[in-house]
Amino acid sequence: MEAVGWAEAEFGEAELNDPRRPARLVSLAQTLGQHPSASLPEACEDRAELKAAYRFFATAAVKSEAMLASHVGATTARLRGEAVVLAVQDTTSLDYPAHPATAGLGTLDDAKHQGFLVHTALATPPERVPLGLLAQDVWTRDAAALGKRATRKQRPIAEKESQKWLPSLDAVRSSGCCSRPVPSPPPPRPSRALTATSVAGISRSGTTSS
């Protein structure tokens, strides 16, 4: 896909309550795509571009869900050209130990680490060339939640962080790439729910999981 065309394909359909905003999002995606490991100040060419980027992300009408939905739509379109697709999901943490004064961060594995938790469902064929995201959930953990792992067997799934796997399964079901519904998984084993990587194999002739 051409350097300019990929950003339009992924984010051009984002519903951001202003026809100018999708174009800005596409432009930002192109800029950040050319510098994937850079911060905004490093990626932007000048102060004007950086200021425009900050203003875009600070706009209340710009929702991450809308940006993700545009990309998921592009991912779903690519799935239809594949005979078999794996929907691989797992959770990672974004740790910001050098930003103790930053508001909005949550506790990670202990009180010394703060940041975000991100649960992602990635679509890929067996050849392991990523096709895109099917779902992504970002949240923070309250410090009061530390130590609750010991009571996980007594709590319903709705009160556990492991429930995050279920929306990703719903996203696989709604992707439209399956010839028949993806079956519901058996009840998870609590001891493995937060450590195992869930892989759902999807084919037009049927569905398998492992």
pLDDT in tens, 45-97: 999 999 999 999 999 999 999 999 999 999 999 998 899 999 999 999 999 98
Contact 53, 28 (CB under 8 A): yes
Mean pLDDT for 127-154 is: 81
The pTM for the full model equals 0.74
Mean pLDDT for 166-194 is: 62
Amino acid 209: pLDDT: 41
Q: Which residue has the higher pLDDT, 94 or 192?
A: 94
Return d(Cα 59, Cα 177) in angstroms, integer.
34
Amino acid 78: pLDDT: 93
Both tokens of 50, joined, read 């950086």
Domains of the chain plus CATH, in order, are 5-62 (1.10.246.40), 83-209 (no CATH)
Q: How far is CA 104 from CA 48, 96, 110, 139, 149, in A?
A: 27, 11, 16, 10, 23
Amino acid 126: pLDDT: 94
